[in-house]
């Protein structure tokens, strides 16, 4: 769970470093290993009001947070600090930024400010993450992430967790988000919780859940061509003997279709009605997961007065040979009624 690399933060050195950086106007302390990433991620330092220093130029802002204890260790990064009380007492303007680590294909650093905020209820430790802006290019120029900051309690063997309830939006102009009021200094030092344990150690961590951009999609296209097929004549209807007849294929909306008739009925229509279906042609090849939405009208033509019998279908087709229609499209009584003109 801990770093595979150990960084020694020598506090005297840090303070010294701090003061020298201070002259240069930055409060960021970079110890060994991590090359300074330019002024981008540095916090402007103002000795009088460093606590109000805006991170990355953004307005300081208290985020919507929920706080609770949890057992699961941090998922993104963990840092164990030795000489913790030193850190808490000796260097009021200190900011500790970890080496970069990778989450969700981006490089991040975890930033702790032991004296991050002062309010009427007391001092707070602040915790932030910063994304390496060099990864924010092209398709990845925006990143949405869920953040949780954690500190380990030895006596409870759990982590005090501050959960940001909003998903944070990182981009070139906003590379840092976090919790100015992560945990109160008073609470952090409380003996019963033992956030500081075993010879002055403490452990902080962070969860970063990156929400990826979609990389799967589908396109729904609607073809409004509604040219029906030419009519299909079944000759010598009364002498038909087969269960069903299938018309020649016809093409609508780039797909081949056919009509299927059961002269003696199918399913509930058997023996009482003619069944009529439109089918996606057996020979029609569909792409994987391709489906076609069909709105059609099925008709039996009235050859005398043009009072055609028509019924609509509205259906998805995704299997060649599959049909939609009516088991009882027209009853034999109507069909055989000479006045109706169907035959």
Ligand X SMILES: *[C@@H]1O[C@H](CO)[C@@H](O)[C@H](O)[C@H]1NC(C)=O
Residues 7-36 that bind ligand X (CB under 6 A): none
Region of 15-23, 260-268, 281-289, 334-342 interacting with ligand X (CB under 6 A): 260-268
Radius of gyration of the chain (CA): 36
Is residue 104 involved in binding ligand X (CB under 6 A)? no
Q: Which is nearer to ligand X, 61 or 287 (CB)?
A: 61
Cα Dmax for the chain: 108
Burial (CB < 10 A; 0-12, 13-18, 19+), residue 68, is: exposed
Is residue 61 involved in binding ligand X (CB under 6 A)? yes
Q: Which is nearer to ligand X, 135 or 341 (CB)?
A: 135
Question: Could you tell me the smallest distance in angstroms from the CB atom of residue 141 to ligand X?
Answer: 11
Pairwise CA distance, residues 25 & 65, whole Å: 31
Query: What is the 3-class SS of 209-228, one letter each residue?
Result: EEECCCCCCCCCCCCCCCCC
Strand pairing of 106-119 and 101-103? antiparallel
Is residue 134 involved in binding ligand X (CB under 6 A)? yes
Among 25, 57, 254, 267, binds ligand X (CB under 6 A): 267
Is residue 6 involved in binding ligand X (CB under 6 A)? no
Q: Which is nearer to ligand X, 149 or 152 (CB)?
A: 149
Cα–Cα distances (Å) from 83 to 12, 46, 95, 336, in that order, read: 12, 26, 15, 99
Is residue 260 involved in binding ligand X (CB under 6 A)? yes
Is residue 52 involved in binding ligand X (CB under 6 A)? yes
DSSP-derived secondary structure letter, 185: H
Q: Which is nearer to ligand X, 205 or 269 (CB)?
A: 269
Burial (CB < 10 A; 0-12, 13-18, 19+), residue 129, is: buried
Is residue 119 involved in binding ligand X (CB under 6 A)? yes
Among 24, 62, 226, 343, binds ligand X (CB under 6 A): 62
Among 28, 175, 176, 181, binds ligand X (CB under 6 A): 181
Q: Which is nearer to ligand X, 140 or 201 (CB)?
A: 140
Is residue 180 involved in binding ligand X (CB under 6 A)? yes
Residues 295-334 that bind ligand X (CB under 6 A): 323
Element (H, E) at 84: helix 84-90
Q: Concatenated DSSP letters for 253-311?
A: TTEEEEEEEETT--GGGTTTEEEEEEEE-TT----TT--EEEEEEEEE--TTT---EEE
Q: Which is nearer to ligand X, 13 or 122 (CB)?
A: 122
Residues that bind ligand X (CB under 6 A): 52, 60-62, 100, 105-107, 117, 119, 132, 134-135, 180-181, 260, 266-267, 277, 323
């Amino acid at each position: 769970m801990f770093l595979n690399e150990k960084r020694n933060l020598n506090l005297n050195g840090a303070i010294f470093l701090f003061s020298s950086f201070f002259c240069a106007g930055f409060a960021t302390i970079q110890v060994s290993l991590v090359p300074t990433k330019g002024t981008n991620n540095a916090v402007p330092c103002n000795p009088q009001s460093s606590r109000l220093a805006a991170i990355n130029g953004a307005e300081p802002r208290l985020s919507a947070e929920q706080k609770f204890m949890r057992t699961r260790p941090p998922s993104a990064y963990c840092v164990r600090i030795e000489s913790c009380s030193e850190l808490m007492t000796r260097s009021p303007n200190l900011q500790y930024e970890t080496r970069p680590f990778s989450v969700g294909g981006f490089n991040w650093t975890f930033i702790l400010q032991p004296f991050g905020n002062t309010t009427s209820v007391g001092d707070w430790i602040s915790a932030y993450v910063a994304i390496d802006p060099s990864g924010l290019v092209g398709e990845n120029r925006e990143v949405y992430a869920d953040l949780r900051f954690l500190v380990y309690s030895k006596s409870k063997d759990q982590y005090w967790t501050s959960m940001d309830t909003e998903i944070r939006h990182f981009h070139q102009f906003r590379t840092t988000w976090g919790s100015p009021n992560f945990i109160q200094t008073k609470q952090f030092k409380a003996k019963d919780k033992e956030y500081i344990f075993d010879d002055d150690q403490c452990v902080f961590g962070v969860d970063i859940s990156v929400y990826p951009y979609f990389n799967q999609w589908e396109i729904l296209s609607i073809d409004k061509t509604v040219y029906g097929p030419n009519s299909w004549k079944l000759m010598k209807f009364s002498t038909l003997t087969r269960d069903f007849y299938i018309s020649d294929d016809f093409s609508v909306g780039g797909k081949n279709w056919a009509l299927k008739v059961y002269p003696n009925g199918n399913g509930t229509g058997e023996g009482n009605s003619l069944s009529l279906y439109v089918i996606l042609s057996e020979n029609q090849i569909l792409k994987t997961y391709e489906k076609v939405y069909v709105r059609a009208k099925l008709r039996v033509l009235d050859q005398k007065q043009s009072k055609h019998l028509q019924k609509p279908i509205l259906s998805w087709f995704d299997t060649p040979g599959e049909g939609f229609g009516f088991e009882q499209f027209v009853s034999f009584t109507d069909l055989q009624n000479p006045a109706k003109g169907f035959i």
